[in-house]
Structure 1
Amino acid sequence: MGDDPVLYQIRVDGHLGPILMTAFPAFVSEQQGGETVLTGLLPDAAALFGVLFEIESLGLDLLEVRRVRPPLHQDLGPPRAGPAKCATEPSAIEGRCSVSTEQQETLDAILRQSAFPVDSGVEEQRRLLRELTSAQPLPAEVTVESAELGGVAVAGITVDGVEPRHVVLYFHGGVYVLGDAFSSAGLASQVGRRADAKVVSVDYRLAPEHPYPAAVDDALAVYEALLEDGVAPSDIVLAGDSAGGGLAVATLVNARDHGLPLPAAAYLMSPYADLTLAGASIDTKRKADPLLSRELLEPRVTDYTAGQDASLGLISPVFADLSGLPPLLIQVGSHEVLLDDAVRLAQQAAGADVEVILDVTPGVPHVFQAYGPLLDEATAALDRAGQFLAARLTGAERVTG
């Protein structure tokens, strides 16, 4: 991770008085029309995410984040004026608005600063991830409670004002060795909010301490427990990011093979679906991806597979028989080495007569949906996912009602 402080300019709607400014001690403020511009040095990406989530928790409308590139002695000029919201639909490569392009460049720079060193081990990567996620407080309206289902630890996530008529069974990312259900609650809650659902996020066991099939077993146990508790499969959707996306598909395949009724749909964000790392984009997108690389992924594959064949369908769902699965929405960015995992997974599903939508957003990184405060495309993609999930849940109600 980079050690040099970075100068940021952050625009928010409205005027911040002296009391609100106490929440941002690292910044100086300037009023420009009906907006406030905050300018300050931050030591790392974790600090920036902390500021952005503080802005969100205070109910302020974030308009723009700029990573100021010139040296401090140069005249930086005022922040670029104009509305920040422009990515309501997947952007075409040509005609993409300049605000969105600058957001993408800013996020890319931030992520490169916070990327794991290639030679880092599991414990160091876990520590660095904890530092990053600990700086991202949950919105005040999100509640997370520890629970257990099927003998597996889970996080129950609810959003004030959302009447949960359904359940999102969520699987966090982290290449099967990092993260937990609680640190991913922010993104999971965004999915639940849009699906009018309570989220049950599975705190599955991690490798290398618990290699395959521990995560797969835990995921199926929680799904079975939901069914045994009386939740109708038509009221359940699966969702996951990165490894969690791959695990969601593996859970569908596993549930089908165990003769269980399947949920209404699944939503996969940048699924890590081929642990053989055979997709062409693992190499062709190396320079474009600010986070992941073959060199970072290969040691973690060994941690998880522990001598098992990485091409097994429950490890790498791109090689699984996907017939009979419910509708899938697969979202991925064009600036990630796992692009081909998503593309090939969609092809595998389509070849098995599964209803599938492949939604590729250009110019954005791995699990870009997690960066809503920084990136318009993140909110737009989550909104599309919410529409997809709501339609499948409503459709399942009509069929079973």
Structure 2
Amino acid sequence: MGNTDQSDFLRTLYRSWSDRMAANPEMTIADLRSLFDEWHQSTLEPEGVTYKSDVLSGVDALWALPVGADTKKVILYTHGGGFAVGSAASHRKLAGHLAKHLGVTAVVIDYRRAPEHPFPAQIEDATAVYKELLSRGFKPTDITTSGDSAGGNLAIATVLKLRADGVALPGAVIAFSPWLDMEHVGKTLQTNAATDALVSKAILEGMSGMFLGEKGSRVDPLANPLKADYTGFPRLYINAGEVETLLDNAQDLARIAKAAGVSVTLSVVAGMQHVFPFLAGRAAAADDELRRIAQWFKSA
């Protein structure tokens, strides 16, 4: 079975969401959240991983605890969903697979979401959780920030904020299909419009409007990390699907970070949709990618 065939489940799920949103343009934020909580359906349950609810610095969270994992190391995972939808519940299996491959634990946080809580509430929550992990005894170098789509943005922006605040930085950052461009000027937004089953300019405009609210700026480096200085940034792994509209967000990030001297690995996988690692356990393309990330992670 080829990569394109393996991505059918995710493409079909995304198409169903797109069709349902198009049929009901007045869909409430509550309905959108219910819709996007179906994201977990694309990921098969990781074997040998248990879960535990927790609260860190006032933020609800879900731990993924693989059997035999190094409990001194943790992934701080920020879920995707345009800063407005998605949850720890929709992403727990994905985080579980990632943690299992890396041989560490993960904590997926339910940060405050837009539009009720616009920028920078999400980064405030993520940085607070990071500091709580430090207070619980985790060494900065044993923490990895990771996330997908908008959560990939947060995994990066959180580190930028920590650096600005003079806090010791995590050892690594892993971003799945990060959404970084709040100006919506990327070329692949047009060139991949016909092949991306979910992410369109119209959706991004709606999500960014809720995220930024009345006061946020589209060029603030903490909202749009393509505008940031990456001097001193941790080593960075970025992936994206070849057919997604946000492809050049990943490519531009890799280029900008490399130019600042960051150790960057960029993986673009043929035929794959937005956040294709959601196919973990179901499709070889996702499992192969997680193995590549694990090899990268353990080679430090």
Take 2:162 and 2:209, find their aligned partners in 1: how far apart are those partners?
25
Q: CA deviation at 1:250?
A: 0.2
Q: CA deviation at 1:200?
A: 1.4
Which residue does the alignment assign to 1:16?
Answer: none
* Amino acid paired to 1:385: I
* Amino acid paired to 2:21: P
Which residue does the alignment assign to 1:113?
Answer: 16
Q: Which of 329, 335, 345 is equivalent to 2:237?
A: 329
Q: CA deviation at 1:338?
A: 0.6
Which residue does the alignment assign to 2:137?
Answer: 230
With CA pairs under 8 Å and 6+ residues apart, which has the higher RCO, 1 or 2? 2
Q: CA deviation at 1:132?
A: 5.0
Kindly indicate whether residue 282 of structure 2 is the aligned counterpart of residue 378 of structure 1. no
Which residue does the alignment assign to 1:149?
Answer: 56
Q: CA deviation at 1:137?
A: 7.3
Take 2:208 and 2:44, find their aligned partners in 1: how far apart are those partners?
30
Contact persistence 1:165–1:196 (CA under 8 A): no
Which residue does the alignment assign to 2:191?
Answer: 284
Which residue does the alignment assign to 1:6?
Answer: none
Q: CA deviation at 1:109?
A: 3.9
Which residue does the alignment assign to 1:130?
Answer: 37
Which residue does the alignment assign to 1:274?
Answer: 181
* Amino acid paired to 1:370: F
Q: CA deviation at 1:263?
A: 1.1
SS in structure 2 at match of 1:167: strand
Kindly indicate whether residue 254 of structure 2 is the aligned counterpart of residue 350 of structure 1. no
5 Å matches for 1:71-86?
Answer: 84=1
* Amino acid paired to 2:152: G
Q: CA deviation at 1:161?
A: 3.6
Contact persistence 2:43–2:280 (CA under 8 A): no
Q: CA deviation at 1:101?
A: 3.5
* Amino acid paired to 1:344: D
Q: Which runs of 4+ in 1 moved over 6 A?
A: 134-137
Q: CA deviation at 1:155?
A: 1.3
Change (3 A) 1:106 1:148: closer
Change (3 A) 1:132 1:192: closer
Q: Which of 225, 232, 240 is equivalent to 2:147?
A: 240
Bigger Rg over Cα? 1
Take 2:70 and 2:252, find their aligned partners in 1: how far apart are those partners?
36
* Amino acid paired to 1:331: N
* Amino acid paired to 2:176: M
Take 1:373 and 1:122, find their aligned partners in 2: how far apart are those partners?
30
Q: CA deviation at 1:274?
A: 1.2
The TM-score, its normalising length taken from structure 1, stands at 0.70
Which residue does the alignment assign to 1:103?
Answer: 6
Q: 1:183-216 deviations in whole A, cap 9, x for unaligned? A: 2110001111111111111210000011101001
Contact persistence 1:144–1:182 (CA under 8 A): no
Give percent identity, aligned residues only.
Answer: 35
Q: CA deviation at 1:259?
A: 0.7
SS in structure 1 at match of 2:294: helix
Contact persistence 1:271–1:338 (CA under 8 A): yes
Take 1:124 and 1:255, find their aligned partners in 2: how far apart are those partners?
34
SS in structure 2 at match of 1:183: helix
Take 1:346 and 1:131, find their aligned partners in 2: how far apart are those partners?
30
* Amino acid paired to 1:102: D
Take 1:274 and 1:344, find their aligned partners in 2: how far apart are those partners?
10
* Amino acid paired to 2:292: R
Which residue does the alignment assign to 2:225?
Answer: 317
Which residue does the alignment assign to 1:164?
Answer: 71
Q: 1:353-387 deviations in whole A, cap 9, x for unaligned? A: 11111111111000000113442211111111111
Q: CA deviation at 1:164?
A: 2.8
List alignment gaps of at least 5 residues for structure 1: 1-83, 85-98, 393-401
Q: CA deviation at 1:105?
A: 4.9
Which residue does the alignment assign to 2:100?
Answer: 193
* Amino acid paired to 1:382: L
Which residue does the alignment assign to 1:53?
Answer: none
Change (3 A) 1:353 1:146: same
Contact persistence 1:285–1:337 (CA under 8 A): yes
CA RMSD of the aligned region, Å? 1.9
Kindly indicate whether residue 117 of structure 2 is the aligned counterpart of residue 213 of structure 1. no
Take 1:207 and 1:145, find their aligned partners in 2: how far apart are those partners?
25
Q: Is the helix fraction higher in 1 or 2? A: 2
* Amino acid paired to 2:179: Y
Contact persistence 2:56–2:129 (CA under 8 A): yes
May I ask how many residue pairs the two structures share in their alignment?
295
Which residue does the alignment assign to 2:163?
Answer: 256
Take 2:106 and 2:189, find their aligned partners in 1: how far apart are those partners?
32
